[in-house]
Structure 1
C-alpha cells in the first residue's frame, strides 16, 4: 500500500510515517514510480509505535517492540528486550510518583501548619 493509504488507515499523517521510516522503524520499499510502498504488517507496527509514544516512550525505547513484532509475535511486548524496556520505564515512573508523593506530603504539611497558625492568630486577636 502507498504511504497515503497507510496514513489514513493508521489515523496519522504521511509526514509522521516518513519520520518513522527515516528512523528505521518502518519498512518500505520504493515502487517503480518512486513512491514508498508498505506491506499490510506495517499497519500493526504503526499502531504499536503510536501507542508507545502516547505513554511517553521515545523512538529508541520503541525499537525492541518493533523488532518483536517483526519476529512474528502478536504483540511487541513479549520479547526479552521489550520487557527490559518496560521494566526500566516502570521504574522511571515509580521514581516520579515517589517524588510527587513527597511533594504532596510536604505541601499537605505546610497547608496544615498554615491553617493552624491562621486559626491560632485569628482566635487570639481581640474583637473590634
Structure 2
C-alpha cells in the first residue's frame, strides 16, 4: 500500500517550512493530492522531488530554473540530474556564479584601491598628531631586545580555540571562525596614558615597551597589508574594552582591537604572558591565521615600531 505524508511531515523531513512547500506547488514543481478533508498528501516521489528542489536551491539554482530536474525525476529517474537538460542547467548555474565572482572581484579590487588611497591620506593627516604624542616618540636604540624563549613554538599549525572576544567596533569576534583567507592578529602588552603610569621597571623588560608605536606602525601599513592579501587585521591585548576603544580612537586605527581581559587565550595555552609587579600581560607577537589555522608566528617582535614591514616581507615571500 502506497504511503502518503502530510505537509508538516514532509517539511520536517527535508528541512523546509510548509510555506516553502506551497511555493514549490505554486510553481508546479510538486503536485500533492488531497484527502477527503482537503489536506495535502505527498507520496514518496513527491517527497523525493521536494528534497531535490530544496538541495538544489541551497546550491543557488533559482526555483524558476528547477523544472528540468523535476521533469527528470518525473520521467522515472531516481536522480534529478540524470538527464541532459539537468546537466545543461548545472552548466548555466555555474556560468552565472562565475559572472558573479568576476563582478565581485572587480568591485573588491576597486574597494581595496579606494581603501589604500584613503588610508594613506589618513596617515598623512596623523603625522602631525603623532609627532606631539609623548607615547609615540622614537624608541630608544638601547632598549633590551627580547630573546626567543620557545614560548610560541607550539602555535604554528594550531587552530584557534572557540573564544569570543569583544572588539572596539562593538562586535564579538569568534577566533575559531574568522573565515577564509589570511588574517593578521598582532598582540601587544599594554599602552600608557596620561591617567595611568606603566609598571615600575617596564622599560627594562625586554620587548615590553613600544605598544603604542607598534599599533601605529601597523596602522601606517594597513593599506599595504590589505593589498598584500591580508583580509582582516586585529590588534589584541588584555586591556579593558573601554580603554581599547579610547586607544583606537586616539590613534585613529582603521581596524578593531580585541580585548582578552580574562586572559582566556593564556588559559588555552595559546598566548604566552609575562608579569611585572601585580600586572600580567601578553608577550608581544603576531599571528598570520589562514582559514582559521595559525600559519605563521612572529615571535619575538622587535623592534615594535618596525614590525609591519617584516610581516609584509614574509607575505611577499609566501604568496597564497
Shorter-chain TM-score: what band? 0.7 to 0.9
Cα distance in 2 for residues equivalent to 1:55 and 1:114: 37
Cα 1:123–1:2 shift into 2, 3 Å: closer
CA offset digits 1:29-78 (Å, max 9, x no partner) = 33455443322122211111111222332222111111112223332123
Map residues 1-128 of structure 1 onto 2, 5 A cutoff. 1-3=4-6, 4-120=8-124, 122=126
Cα 1:43–1:104 shift into 2, 3 Å: same
- Considering only CA atoms, is the larger Rg found in Structure 1 or Structure 2? 2
Cα 1:115–1:72 shift into 2, 3 Å: same
- Between structures 1 and 2, the one with greater strand share: 2
Cα distance in 1 for residues equivalent to 2:53 and 2:28: 12
Q: 5+ residue gaps in structure 1? A: none
Cα distance in 2 for residues equivalent to 1:117 and 1:99: 27
Cα distance in 2 for residues equivalent to 1:17 and 1:121: 58
Cα distance in 2 for residues equivalent to 1:35 and 1:23: 19
CA offset digits 1:59-117 (Å, max 9, x no partner) = 22111111112223332123111122221121111111111111111122222233334
Cα 1:71–1:106 shift into 2, 3 Å: same
Cα distance in 1 for residues equivalent to 2:59 and 2:88: 16
Cα 1:19–1:110 shift into 2, 3 Å: closer
- Between structures 1 and 2, the one with greater helix share: 1
RMSD value, Cα: 2.6
Higher mean C-alpha displacement, 67-76 vs 90-99: 67-76
Q: 5+ residue gaps in structure 2? A: 133-320
Cα 1:81–1:124 shift into 2, 3 Å: same
Query: Is the Cα–Cα contact under 8 Å of residues 69 and 76 in structure 1 kept in the other structure?
Result: yes
SS at structure 2 position matched to 1:91: helix
Query: Is the Cα–Cα contact under 8 Å of residues 49 and 62 in structure 1 kept in the other structure?
Result: yes
Cα 1:80–1:118 shift into 2, 3 Å: same
